[in-house]
Structure 1
Amino acid sequence: MTVAVGANCYSVGASPCKGTGLVWTDEELDDAISGPVAAVVFDDAGKADIATLLAGVAETEFAQERLAAVLSDPDDIEDWRVGEAIAETYLTDHRSCTFPWPDGRDERKAGSSLPGADLVGFQTDEHGDRFAFGEVKTSGEARHPPGAVYGRTGLKQQLEDLRDKRPIRDGLMKYLGHRAGAAVWRDRYRAASRRYLANSSDVQLFGILIRDVGPHEDDVRVRVDKLATGCPTDTAIELLALYMPPGSIAKLSAKALATRAGGGV
């Protein structure tokens, strides 16, 4: 299933940078979490790959039980992780994106947060595949924009760095390249790399706010204007604010965990 496209509550800006506000109902949020969002949060695809790889290796009942324990879902997750999964599934379903290597696979311990873009992958446009990089902030702060937009690790600085600093984009290209060698998405990586090597500004950038307050275009309006100024040729930027029902963010983790308890959300 695909996640809901949402009701459009505002649109601001134009190429090369635009902003959109979208509203989800309770039912749309629950459907998303119980379906593709939970699959991303718990990396079902990655765990299935490991189970296939180790088929026949865990030969005893004890070994099979240990493997099941290694691949089991965590007892707790952070709400922001569910927010990132919502952003990823939305861009996958409605912006022609694919993010083939979740950064959770690179964690050395559960619960750590890695530097770099939150979402690293591809977007397909009329010319084929190009790199797509996204930053996600989950905030229920009752101000527009929320504080998560500002500061050294805020959405503003992160998007400006992705737009202006080629070494950061180069690093993300290499990050995927290290994982592309035998992957089913190898050809897509090569196609996106061909475009990037011809023009390192030929990328799609996303800034996504996951919110549970009333929608307001001030969440993205100023940043849309600022990011458009001096934007390199062929760089496209979209700011998306996804508005969940009031009070939803504090329940995202519990909703996702409930899908694995057999009771739905």
Structure 2
Amino acid sequence: MAGTVAYQIDGCVVPATGFELTATDVEEIAPAIRAILRDDSGLSEAFEALQDLPRTEFAVTTLQRVLEPPSEFAEWRVGEALAEHHLSNSRDCTFPWADSRSARNPNSISGGVDLIGFHSGDRVRFVFVEVKTSHHQSWPPSVVTSRSEGLRGQLSGLNDSDDRSRWAIKYLTMNSINKPWFSIHRQAMQTYLADAKDVMLFGVLVHVTTANMKDLEALTNRLSELPATKTAIELIGLYIEADVLASLVEGSIAVETAA
């Protein structure tokens, strides 16, 4: 797990932990983050499946251009990659199918759940993750508190089993057929069919500033007041300076000034 714990909010139903990531931390995890952003595994599989088609050097170059990753990444996508890496390495989560594989525009926003995968513990469950990236020097930023588009509203909606969770499961199901991870998907589906509330939710804030527990303190308390179900919710804060965030990618980051 990369980063140093800056704060912990315990003693409530929904815990929260903040991590500070230094330049040294990022240098260690940057190759893995870049592989997620570029979807190296998916591109490798695609090229291997088609490499017998080109008959000339020009055709090989054309195929490489079709499959090459973008040279610029939206800031929110870098935040999602950072969140995916953190949860995969510290919270027993697996995210087998990259959302970017279904996007005609690599920086288009789907409007659904940011990340969906599996959480492995005493049973396999679906895990839904909402990620917000902000460089506003306020604690908390509006991407946390907004009732509709913020972590507050989105996690509350997922806890109420809104349509986005159903869409996300359908999306993962349709892409799981004949995949190596189909068996773990079946286990998660079995858990879900027994109780649709038996899922794991993570809210991740990637804040390009110094750590402050005020970011997640009020949200932790509010979400802890929700009616008790089998749904488990956890909040994560990842804190990183702007120049360190930029070093995560081999290319440029398109910053959303309103974030």
Q: CA deviation at 1:15?
A: 5.8
Equivalent position of 1:139 in the other structure: 134
Equivalent position of 2:256 in the other structure: none
From 27, 34, 52, the equivalent of 1:56 is 52
From 17, 21, 25, the equivalent of 2:18 is 21
Q: Find the aligned partners of 1:79 and 1:19 in 2 and give their Cα distance.
A: 23
Equivalent position of 1:71 in the other structure: 67
Equivalent position of 1:30 in the other structure: 27
Equivalent position of 1:99 in the other structure: 95
In 2, are the aligned partners of 1:17 and 1:238 still within 8 Å (CA)? yes
1:91-130 equivalence runs, <5 A: 91-127=87-123, 129-130=124-125
Q: Find the aligned partners of 2:167 and 2:242 in 1 and give their Cα distance.
A: 37
In 1, are the aligned partners of 2:208 and 2:242 still within 8 Å (CA)? yes
CA gap 1:240/1:248 in 2 versus in 1, 3 angstroms: farther
TM-score by length of 1: 0.89
Equivalent position of 2:195 in the other structure: 199
Paired residue type of 1:146: P
SS at match of 1:77: strand
Q: CA deviation at 1:71?
A: 1.4
In 2, are the aligned partners of 1:15 and 1:236 still within 8 Å (CA)? no
User: Which runs of 5 or more residues in structure 2 are unaligned?
Assistant: 253-259
User: What root-mean-square deviation, in Å, do the aligned CA atoms of Structure 1 and Structure 2 show?
Assistant: 1.8
Q: Find the aligned partners of 1:139 and 1:229 in 2 and give their Cα distance.
A: 26
Equivalent position of 2:6 in the other structure: 9
Q: CA deviation at 1:248?
A: 3.6
In 1, are the aligned partners of 2:18 and 2:236 still within 8 Å (CA)? yes
In 1, are the aligned partners of 2:34 and 2:248 still within 8 Å (CA)? no
TM-score by length of 2: 0.91
Equivalent position of 2:255 in the other structure: none
Q: Find the aligned partners of 1:91 and 1:217 in 2 and give their Cα distance.
A: 19
Paired residue type of 1:131: F
